[in-house]
Structure 1
């Protein structure tokens, strides 16, 4: 029966969240049932920004598409164990490095998007003999950066809104005369949101001739990739939550509360070749099939 050898990476911080300048420390863990020879153990740390265009934008920006190379923000490689032998049992090898970018580069928030992906990984490689399989293990850690001080809002201002048939701008194939009469008001706590806090507010259905089926909040990512040839902007949905179901009472305050999902959101970011922004859509679905939608561009910050 073959002996099972296990290579693992354990970080000291359970949440795996670090800020630029922090020391990242942990252990390379080797578990083996019998003595195991090896040709060295190396650790590599990489942080990169991956960019891509949607299929509809490829033809428009072919020159840019051919130059979509990953942006390497940081890259370290160091040996944690020279060639030798690990004895049976569990061996822990400590490691530590400072989270600093390469010269001329900037660290951005960890972010898993559709057309922009920002990721930080630690990868461990153990080289073995010709007749043995090399072992490899990778783990992702999360980087949280701060919004530059000059871009932080000194105070958050509530955003009042009023939605009526006259305020709607996109009717597509229907006319205003076909839209049932309604009046929806409300307030957002702020359009500048701390990413670790919830998106908050309330709405009030003052009147509505049609029966309401549902009220939803849609969080949208706005990703822009570009260069001198032009920019391609793509909007995709991150999450959709229901805050009201059925024909809600008129005159009743309905709370708005939405948590920003970790990894799939980050602070609003603008770099030379990409931007990451966010919007919230308030969608009221009527029983007759009409959709009433109000769009709120928001800015995510962290201080």
Structure 2
């Protein structure tokens, strides 16, 4: 049996806002005690673009994917170097994606997985071990929603007219002419 690592979040849906604390625990199940050079938890947010044939250069279309753009990269030390005993060990963690007043690389974008664009936030726990041992790690994605303060409200243009389409508005006297294409409009 080998050592297993699982990231468990206190929210089962793993949906967070950038200003909220992301809390959970790292569960390590090991058949024997292991020594380590520290346990780190990191979050990486990235934007990946899928390039399609006509809109790309020769090299980009050959590879099909542009290198992901990092928008968040934070890391904390959960446990300093030492030993983990055999059996199940649980290490609690708390990380805030964006501290109030903190300057970041840019805005936090909501998690999105589309055909051409993908925005994702991955939490990774790394257990660094000695030179002769392979490092242990586990990765889990969390969903990030925008803060209410980050949502930009567009000003209403004075030329904008608000209207509703209902059953009653569909019974206009010019409806037969509009459907047949016989209505000629002159805009002044």
**Match of residue 22, structure 2, among 18, 21, 24:** 24
User: TM-score normalized by structure 1?
Assistant: 0.46
The answer to which structure has the higher strand fraction is 1
Q: CA distance change for structure 1 residues 152 and 10 in 2, over 3 Å: closer, same or farther?
A: farther
**Aligned equivalents of 2:114 and 2:21: distance in 1?**
27
User: TM-score normalized by structure 2?
Assistant: 0.71
Does structure 2 conserve the Cα–Cα contact (< 8 Å) formed by 1:38 and 1:84? Answer: yes
Residue 74 of structure 1: how far off its partner (Å): 1.6
Q: Aligned pair 1:136/2:137, yes or no? A: yes
Residue 104 of structure 1: how far off its partner (Å): 4.5
- How does 1:1-303 map onto structure 2 within 5 Å? 3-59=1-57, 68-100=66-98, 103-145=104-146, 146=148, 148=151, 150-151=153-154, 158-160=164-166
**Aligned equivalents of 1:95 and 1:136: distance in 2?**
15
SS at match of 2:106: coil
For residues 227-255 of structure 1, what are the alpha-carbon distances to aligned partners after superposition, in whole Å with 9 as ceiling and x for unaligned? xxxxxxxxxxxxxxxxxxxxxxxxxxxxx
Structure 1 gaps of 5+ residues are 169-303
* Greater RCO, 1 or 2 (C-alpha within 8 Å, sep 6+): 2
Does structure 2 conserve the Cα–Cα contact (< 8 Å) formed by 1:74 and 1:102? Answer: no
**Aligned equivalents of 1:21 and 1:78: distance in 2?**
17
**Aligned equivalents of 1:102 and 1:140: distance in 2?**
23
**Aligned equivalents of 2:114 and 2:130: distance in 1?**
40
Residue 15 of structure 1: how far off its partner (Å): 0.8
RMSD: 3.2
SS at match of 2:91: strand
Q: CA distance change for structure 1 residues 43 and 152 in 2, over 3 Å: closer, same or farther?
A: farther
Matched residues, number: 158
SS at match of 1:85: strand
